[in-house]
Amino acid sequence: MQVTRLDPRALSGLAAMLAGSGLPVADLSEAERIFFRFDDDRLAGYGGIEGSGADRLLRSLVVIPDRRREGIGRAMLAALEQETATLGVERLHLLTTTAAKFFKADGYAVADRLTAPASITASREFTSLCPANAAFLIKTLDPA
């Protein structure tokens, strides 16, 4: 899987994919966000992280619609985790209303939102973009 870090000024493809999948796009260009494009023989999807330090928020992992159900999402998630570990990230946190089962199958554990670190609870994703009933999951990454 080839991983390309997106230029923060060139997020139109990502924004279109997220909007088409019903995922938040209002804060994509804000600071402390890193987004990636994933390709194998062709475009597979996008994903990203938000924040700084050891705890980061996994943002918007999305597979191109005609590539879904091929196992591409798992390969993208593994590549994203590897990329973030090289940045010194120790734990990925995420909120989801639709994909908890997918993430739990890859080692993410459901957690109480009240246990989230302040750096995560201060994010727009946590405070306003995701509904209060979204599942909160955490994974400790293998060191790079």
SS3 labels along the chain: CEEEECCCCCCHHHHHHHHHCCCCCCCCCCCCEEEEEEECCCEEEEEEEECCCCEEEEEEEEECHHHCCCCHHHHHHHHHHHHHHHCCCCEEEEEECCCHHHHHCCCCEECCHHHCCHHHHCCHHHHHHCCCCCEEEEEECCCC
- The pLDDT score that the predictor gives to residue 144 is 66
Please tell me the distance from the alpha carbon of residue 128 to that of residue 30, in angstroms, as a whole number.
15
Q: Are 105 and 67 in contact (CB under 8 A)?
A: no
Domain residue spans in the chain?
2-140
The topology under which CATH files domain 2-140 is Aminopeptidase (3.40.630)
From first to last of its 144 residues, the chain has per-residue pLDDT tens of 999 999 988 898 899 998 888 888 888 888 899 999 999 989 999 999 999 999 999 988 999 998 888 889 999 999 999 999 999 999 999 999 889 999 999 999 999 999 999 999 999 888 888 888 899 999 999 886
> The whole model's pTM is what?
0.91
